[in-house]
Structure 1
Amino acid sequence: MKKFLNKFMVVFLVVTAATSCKKITDDINVNPNQPSVLSTGYAFNGALQYLGGTGGGGATTNINSFAGELYSQYLSETFYTNESRFALAQYDYQGYYTGPIADLNQVIRFNTDPAYKDQVTTTNFGSNANQIAAARILRAFIFLTITDRWGDIPYSQALQGLNTLNPKFDAQKDIYTDLFKELTEAQAQFDGGGFFNDLLFDGDVTKWKHWANSLRAVMALRLSEVDPNTGSAEFKKAVADGLMTSNDDNAAYKYAAEQNNENPYFGNYRNRYDYAVSDQLVNRLKALNDPRLPVYAEVADNGEYVGLPYATAGDDLDQYSIGNRDVAANTIDPGNVSQIGRAYSSQSSPAVWTSYAQILFAQAEAAHRGWIPGGDAAAATFYTQGITASLQQNGISAGNITTYLAQPGVTFNAGNALEQIITQKWIANYLGNGWESWAEYRRTGYPNLVDPVPTALNADKHIPRRQQYPQSENDLNKQNYNEVIARQGPDALSTHVWWDK
């Protein structure tokens, strides 16, 4: 009996030790802060929050970025003037890849992989097809933003982990070709299933489709100087599939009345006051008696709207004061230059990344170029509708819209069509997507901005044509970095991207 008990105890201890070791090993290998099963809706909205500047995006990778708005000369800096004078050449795009693009890739993977696609943490957020389609559209929008800022970028080999630690730089022409394909396929991929209440379109699948097709139209116009035949063909396809149809279709990121997801300009006015409205915007709106001026800007201490001259620097800044703001009470003690209007700088003020007005102006240009039927008669109609949509978006009354449209400086003129269309598009895009307005300026030369900038700190003092690659590419991806420089041109602010001819 004693011998039996001893043998039993040995077996018990061995089994217990093995079981305990397995439990300890399992516990060590499980990260409680990184679950193995993804809640796809949270990952999707996390990507959107990053782009809104509230999920780690910061001031240089969110869509309505301070830098993008400065490049487009909507704003002037009040103290630190490096960005408006182009002293900051290198911007890091790594956050886009490791943040929202990685999240969206995971959303696509979890809705594709049979091991995860039917789990409740996936299906709670809509049909597999709808989640994949929306993720592809948002990912394409991000890649479009990156390539328009830097030119040739890592694309086909990006985010392949240990398989490709040093991804090649794809030519921008090839990236555009693939983005047209991605957006075309994605908008056709939506099925009759549901989609969760995302932060951009509240789960409205039709709006996601309209945005995808509208982005294709935007991209098609980028090709106007480098490949107009492809641009015209792609524009027609986008129109046929269905563009935005009203302001309800606006791709508007929704900030909230709480600090974790607040409008970045409101956050800046809490204690920094880095940005005033630029004289380039104020003076142009004054010249046109534009009723959006009281919406875009606050009055200065003289009761007028006063823009801070763009890229004012050094001792010259001493003569200007932006005043103060009590963000809690939503009151302003003005200085002698205008702060951003509260409609655009309150805590929950939305940022419109792509607007119906913008797409109407795109159709006006396409008609003027002969890409779609109607010629300048159709261009005039789309142009007028674009202005009207922007004014309505900003709460302007019908009577004031009629008065504004009747002005000689506003009425469509076929001999000056492109400048009028792009200038009105620029006005309409205020503090929505500065990177887009900067791209349109590079493509067309409109509106007439300060260029060269007398106080600029870059070599030629001109508005940059692109941004330099992050230092990490030169340090860690040297061979591919050297290849892209040889193909695209010097890694400099003055180098033109493929479509910028």
Structure 2
Amino acid sequence: MKRIKFILPLIAGFMLFSCSDYLDVNNSSDNPDANLVTPNLSLAAAQSDSYRTLTQRMNEYGNVFMNNWGANVNSFTGGYAEEFGITLSNNFYDDIWDGVYRGTGEFSRIINHPAANYENHKAIAMICKAFYMQYMVDLYGDVPYSQAHLGLANLSPAYDDDKEIYRDLVVQLENAVNMIDHPTSTTKAVGAEDVILGGNMLAWKKFANTLKLRILLRQSELTDADTQTYLAGEFAELAGAAFVDQDVTINPGYSNGSDSRQNPFYTLMYDLKEVNDPTRAERTAFRFRRASAYIANQLNVSPVDPRRGRLFSLIGGEVVGVEQGADNDTAPDNISSLGTGLVISSEQDGYMMLLAESLLLQAEAVHKGYLAVGDPQTLFDNAIVASMFQLGAPVGDIQNYIDSVNLIVGKGYGALGATPEQQLEAIFYQKSIALNGINGAEIFIEYTRARKNGMPLIDANIDMPIPGVTPDGNHKPRRLMYPVSEISNNTANVPAQTVTDCYTSGPFWFAQ
């Protein structure tokens, strides 16, 4: 049996809550005892509530900072002023913190629930918790963790070191897999209440393995002996592991019955009418978000990317973008909107992790010598195929694009004469296209990580301030500021932080 490892103290399930509204776990006397709401009754809500933040605000944050999205300056004024001016504050995207911690609290209840025989439900909650807690570290650095989700027992949780949190997330993923591998005779089966993988516990093991792979690779730019020894041991444990082999989707029964029932990304974009209803109205978010000139150039230049017409609408056969920070005097008369591969219907699936991302993570691990199974070129090419199918790109164009892009340094892994760094750049580039509009936070975090000698491996143009000047003059922030809600309610523990800190220091895994 694989050993079960423990790093941080498991204080009531190692979760966190301060006394802010977004972290409130206290129950009204008018409500039934929370212990009566068993894990099978709360799992779907926990999964759905957390995903809303991922696909809405985290997605927007990353896609704007990756220079994928610009503003429709022909119809709106002043949009994305803080983003384009890179003006950070404690209110800047503060709802990411609030939303993610609210969601992780729901997973905490499942993990810590006293009812017996829900080991599989708890394992799923542990995996989901690790998925979102990784983003808290990636976006903020140190966060409360070990004194977590205790309600009135601890209204002021201490902050934990981000490196130790990362290592404990790996432990929790391993423990979840161990629970799945060793059920008892009375362990309850998981069914439709799991709105991500439908109770397929083998698929959850693959998801856990792939999350572990992602967590480890995020640290792989660090060269200190301790980290490299740690990574070697953890990657050795992944030898022979199975990874995500299909898109990991979420769908609790999205419909056009009401705003709250629509897919949370789609509901930002359109009203409640059916797709084929000519009276279906665009919402402000859809009319506002437009392709940037940067991403238009990436998709339109040879080899033309078959995904471009699915990521954005085509105007005259091409994606037409706007310079971030431009005004309506300099912008094109028509700017491409989000495409039909992203905005589909009220019922569309959400995406937790794409098969394309899984394959590109594996390609990077093999490329760096951490995994010995698989060929990085094959994994790379298969990731492009998976992305094309997921977005619904024209099938006839896929192989031609793969053959052509593998001649381009920085976009194709097999480009003649490409250095190992340029091959990595191609992996990161293809990930940035596959996750464009789907998980913006992930690709911006990866972009922050993917650096060599202080410069990004991905096109350096997106690393320049637009149009303002950052504190050190040459890059976007490496993390967000702690929000007002946390400063107000956990004052004694919030680390001292200035705007400049967000530009000059990142999470522990950031390599200069």
TMscore range, shorter length: 0.7 to 0.9
- CA separation of 1:228 and 1:351: change in aligned 2, threshold 3 A: farther
**Residue from 463, 486, 494 that aligns with 1:451:** 463
What amino acid does structure 2 have at the position aligned with 1:216? Answer: K
| Corresponding residue number in structure 2 for 1:152 | 142
**Residue from 95, 106, 110 that aligns with 2:109:** 106
Q: Is the contact between residue 222 and residue 231 of structure 1 (CA under 8 Å) also seen in structure 2? A: no
- CA separation of 1:393 and 1:303: change in aligned 2, threshold 3 A: closer
Greater per-residue helix proportion? 1
| Corresponding residue number in structure 2 for 1:428 | 434
| Corresponding residue number in structure 2 for 1:195 | 190
| Corresponding residue number in structure 1 for 2:66 | 72
- CA separation of 1:231 and 1:429: change in aligned 2, threshold 3 A: farther
**Gapped regions of structure 2 (runs ≥ 5):** 1-27, 271-281, 451-455
Q: Is the contact between residue 341 and residue 392 of structure 2 (CA under 8 Å) also seen in structure 1? A: no
Taking the TM superposition and a 5 Å limit, the aligned residue runs for 1:199-278 are 199-226=195-222, 227-245=227-245, 247=246, 249-252=247-250, 256-258=254-256, 259-260=259-260, 261-269=262-270, 270-272=282-284, 273-278=287-292
Q: CA deviation at 1:428?
A: 1.0
1:172-201 CA distance string (max 9 Å, x none):
110011000001110221237521222211
- CA separation of 1:262 and 1:446: change in aligned 2, threshold 3 A: same
Q: CA deviation at 1:401?
A: 1.9
What amino acid does structure 1 have at the position aligned with 2:103? Answer: P
SS at match of 2:378: helix
Instruction: Tell me the distance in 1 between the aligned counterparts of 2:55 and 2:442.
Output: 18
- CA separation of 1:32 and 1:168: change in aligned 2, threshold 3 A: closer
Instruction: Tell me the distance in 1 between the aligned counterparts of 2:362 and 2:467.
Output: 37
Taking the TM superposition and a 5 Å limit, the aligned residue runs for 1:75-86 are 75-78=69-72, 79=76, 80-85=79-84, 86=86
Instruction: Tell me the distance in 2 between the aligned counterparts of 1:499 and 1:169.
Output: 17
| Corresponding residue number in structure 1 for 2:320 | 306
| Corresponding residue number in structure 2 for 1:412 | 414
| Corresponding residue number in structure 1 for 2:89 | 89
Q: Is the contact between residue 71 and residue 84 of structure 1 (CA under 8 Å) also seen in structure 2? A: yes
Q: CA deviation at 1:367?
A: 1.6
Q: CA deviation at 1:447?
A: 2.0
Count, aligned residues: 431
SS at match of 1:202: coil
| Corresponding residue number in structure 2 for 1:171 | 161
| Corresponding residue number in structure 2 for 1:385 | 382
- CA separation of 1:83 and 1:66: change in aligned 2, threshold 3 A: farther
Q: CA deviation at 1:306?
A: 0.7
Of the structure 1 ranges 209-218 and 394-403, higher mean CA displacement relative to structure 2 is found in 394-403
Is 1:290 equivalent to 2:305 in the alignment? yes
Instruction: Tell me the distance in 1 between the aligned counterparts of 2:350 and 2:468.
Output: 28
- CA separation of 1:209 and 1:454: change in aligned 2, threshold 3 A: same
Identity %: 26
Q: CA deviation at 1:87?
A: 2.5
Which protein is bigger by CA-based radius of gyration? Answer: 1
| Corresponding residue number in structure 2 for 1:47 | 46
| Corresponding residue number in structure 2 for 1:123 | none
Instruction: Tell me the distance in 1 between the aligned counterparts of 2:215 and 2:112.
Output: 27
Q: Is the contact between residue 55 and residue 264 of structure 2 (CA under 8 Å) also seen in structure 1? A: no
Q: Is the contact between residue 131 and residue 195 of structure 1 (CA under 8 Å) also seen in structure 2? A: yes
Instruction: Tell me the distance in 2 between the aligned counterparts of 1:367 and 1:352.
Output: 25
1:6-33 CA distance string (max 9 Å, x none):
xxxxxxxxxxxxxxxxxxxxxxx84047
- CA separation of 1:271 and 1:398: change in aligned 2, threshold 3 A: closer
Of the structure 1 ranges 424-433 and 365-374, higher mean CA displacement relative to structure 2 is found in 365-374
Q: CA RMSD in A?
A: 2.8
| Corresponding residue number in structure 2 for 1:498 | 508
Give the TM-score of the pair, scaled to structure 1: 0.78
- CA separation of 1:495 and 1:357: change in aligned 2, threshold 3 A: same
Taking the TM superposition and a 5 Å limit, the aligned residue runs for 1:335-354 are 336-346=334-344, 347-354=346-353
- CA separation of 1:38 and 1:30: change in aligned 2, threshold 3 A: same
Q: Is the contact between residue 197 and residue 203 of structure 2 (CA under 8 Å) also seen in structure 1? A: yes
Is 1:142 equivalent to 2:145 in the alignment? no
Q: Is the contact between residue 311 and residue 342 of structure 2 (CA under 8 Å) also seen in structure 1? A: yes
1:466-487 CA distance string (max 9 Å, x none):
00001244344333224x659x
Q: CA deviation at 1:298?
A: 0.8
Q: CA deviation at 1:220?
A: 0.7
Q: CA deviation at 1:36?
A: 5.8
Q: CA deviation at 1:202?
A: 2.2
- CA separation of 1:450 and 1:379: change in aligned 2, threshold 3 A: same
Give the TM-score of the pair, scaled to structure 2: 0.77
Instruction: Tell me the distance in 1 between the aligned counterparts of 2:81 and 2:311.
Output: 24
Q: CA deviation at 1:151?
A: 0.6
**Gapped regions of structure 1 (runs ≥ 5):** 1-28, 118-126, 322-334
**Residue from 173, 184, 187 that aligns with 1:183:** 173
Q: CA deviation at 1:297?
A: 1.0
- CA separation of 1:51 and 1:476: change in aligned 2, threshold 3 A: closer
